[in-house]
Amino acid sequence: MKVERLPPVVTSLKPGNHPYLNGAWTPLHEEVDAEDLEVIAGAIPADIDGVYIRNTENQVHQPLGRHHPFDGDAMIHQIAFRDGKASYRNRFVRTRCFEAEQEAGRSLWGGLADPPGTSVRPGYGAHGSLKDNASTDVVVHAGKLYSTFYQCGEAYTLDPLTLDDLGIAPWAPIDGVSAHCKVDEATGELLFFNYSKHAPYMHYGVVDASGKRTTYMPIPLPGPRLPHDMAFSERFSILNDLPVFWDPGLLERGVHAVRFFRDIPSRFAIVPRHGGDVRWFDAAPCYILHFLNAYEDGDELVLDGYFQEDPTPPPLHGSVEGHEHMMAYLDMHSFKSRLHRWRFDLKTGATREERLYDGIVEFGMMNARYAGKPYRYAYSVTSKPGWFLFDGFVKHDLETGEAQTIKLEPGRYASEAPFAPRVNASSEDDGYLVSFVIDENRGTSECILIDCKDFAAGPVCRIALPHKISSGTHSVWADRAFIEGGRAA
């Protein structure tokens, strides 16, 4: 492996015992380029051609208050496959806030768990007091990579192949862009939403294949809400108004405390893709972090995602002392997320719901070529009880109900794992699941590929990374041909 290290960033972070600043969440401050990655086991298939990109949380400076893992600065990790070989590189996302704290040499903003008045500068996004760290999500559209923040911020742009900084997306509106923009590979369009604390509280937009914003419309809500994801079918986009949001009485005093209003139904907004009248459908109260896919089935619109049975769980006693509340809110086993299906009857206005899988799972991915269309296979992660750490994968056959599970060895933790279609793929599951793995037993990280046609067999190869990465949230796979086609458009 040939490794070139870039000049170091300025950091003021001190050693400590915070559960999400150690172990698999230990921040990484090193940026490198690495060629000819070493294969630990198996062989890199010659029929995979593209990039796997993962966003991670890396706290650079000593926190002003109580650190939350979603406060860390965005670092993008990329592994590129071609002709049976792999290369790697990683870069911090140079957000306005990252650059300001580099100049100051310290933290300037408080975090999600801090009281009002902690930040020393005005904040960004829906919350208003946080740092726009762009550390939540990544998507590839029109040949560019966008890194975004879940509380709404700028869409920071990088080259998906080189990770060069390309500035801020010019199409992003003044209220910013939430994480979980959606890309329709069939049309080349990017769909997005944002939310805020001022009326109408939510907007929805479309960016065409050339990178021009063509639709931007209000989605009026009763008050400030906390949507996290959206979905789309061939003709419609689906947004949500869920009964988990900041307590209005406390919000008037500047306190951002989340509450589950169990007597308020969940609501889903069905919007024609390029704008038009909004139709609302009621459903059982819950919270949903992530959707899988949506598609049209006759007069019905089908939506799959992860239904949280207890989105504001009680403190996780017996976990890390002093962090019981935070540990529960980050634990899939505490908020009880399960794969779920909603059916919205566009003719009658009725909603039907059903459970698709009884196990605790989340962070679902599927073959992006089937996004917005009927599909059969989905891939979820399992988690270590009590922690925001992924310890396995599940392949769901949504036609038969069969589920196959792979569990990692204790001490090994995965990343969200997108599906990478095999070159000249002949079927929906003809390809690989791609994930980074943090090995706490050895203090290393690696990349694994799982052949989805032979899922239960486990990884077909393991590839060493040049350093141990930190954990984080979301990732994306982009075929090289898709990137080059987007650039041409």
pTM flag (> 0.85): yes
SS3 for the chain is CEEEECCCCCCCCCCCCCCCCCHHHCCCCCCEEEECCCEEEECCCCCCCEEEEEEEEECCCCCCCCCCHHHCEEEEEEEEEECCEEEEEEEECCCHHHHHHHHHCCCCCCCCCCCCCCCCCCCECCCCCECCCCCCEEEEECCEEEEEECCCECCEEECCCCCCEEEECCCCCCCCEECCCEEECCCCEEEEEEECCCCCCEEEEEECCCCCEEEEEECCCCCCCCCCCCEECCCEEEEEECCEEECHHHHCCCCCCEEECCCCCEEEEEEECCCCCCEEEEECCCEEEEEEEEEEECCEEEEEEEEECCCCCCCCCCCCCCCHHHHHHCCHHHHCEEEEEEEEECCCCCEEEEECCCCCCEEEECCHHHCCCCCCEEEEEEECCCCCCEEEEEEEECCCCCEEEEECCCCEEECCCCEEECCCCCCCCCEEEEEEEEECCCCEEEEEEEEHHHHHHCEEEEEECCCCCCCEEEEEEEEHHHHHHHHHC
pLDDT in tens, the chain (489 residues): 999 999 999 999 999 999 999 999 999 999 999 999 999 999 999 999 999 999 999 999 999 999 999 999 999 999 999 999 999 999 999 999 999 999 999 999 999 999 999 999 999 999 999 999 999 999 999 999 999 999 999 999 999 999 999 999 999 999 999 999 999 999 999 999 999 999 999 999 999 999 999 999 999 999 999 999 999 999 999 999 999 999 999 999 999 999 999 999 999 999 999 999 999 999 999 999 999 999 999 999 999 999 999 999 999 998 999 999 999 999 999 999 999 999 999 999 999 999 999 999 999 999 999 999 999 999 999 999 999 999 999 999 999 999 999 999 999 999 999 999 999 999 999 999 999 999 999 999 999 999 999 999 999 999 999 999 999 999 999 999 999 999 988
Burial class (CB in 10 A: 0-12, 13-18, 19+), 424: exposed
Ramachandran area for residue 163 (φ above 0: left; ψ -120 to 50: alpha; else beta): left
* Whole-angstrom distance, CA of residue 421 vs CA of residue 379: 14
Name the residue with tokens 């049976």: 84
State phi, psi for 69 to the nearest 5 degrees: -60, -25
49 and 478 Cβ atoms separated by less than 8 Å? no
- What does the alpha-carbon distance between residue 181 and residue 38 come to, in Å, rounded to a whole number? 34
> How many whole angstroms separate alpha carbon 292 and alpha carbon 67?
30
Q: In Å, how far from its chain's centre is CA 449?
A: 20
